[in-house]
Amino acid sequence: MNPKLNFATSLQTVVAAAAATVIALGILWSIVLLSERNGKPLERLAAAERACAHHSYLSDRQTCMNDWLVASQAGTVAKR
């Protein structure tokens, strides 16, 4: 065994730990962004998906979900 401390190995360890931290924070941040999804609460999105599940085409389902979300927020948006 070599009792000398290898500087390159220590530096590689620090760089690997820093890279792992950056990757973990990136994954956590993307999960947060996906769960907030355009400022709409996740439970409203889930309810809209259940309400529009009978549409077979994706474009029809997305239109239905958008209409459902707008209708569900009609009472919370200030009117002129």
Residue pair 65/52 in contact (Cβ under 8 Å)? The answer is yes
Give domain limits for the chain: 1-36, 40-80
Give CA–CA dist 58/17, Å, rounded: 42
Copy the structure tokens of residue 45.
């999105």
Question: What pLDDT, in 10s, does the model give residues 60-79?
Answer: 999 999 999 888 876 655 55
- Of 70, 77, 78, the C-alpha closest to 45 is 70
* % of residues, the chain, pLDDT over 70: 75
Angle among Cα 5, 7, 11 to the nearest 5 degrees reads 130
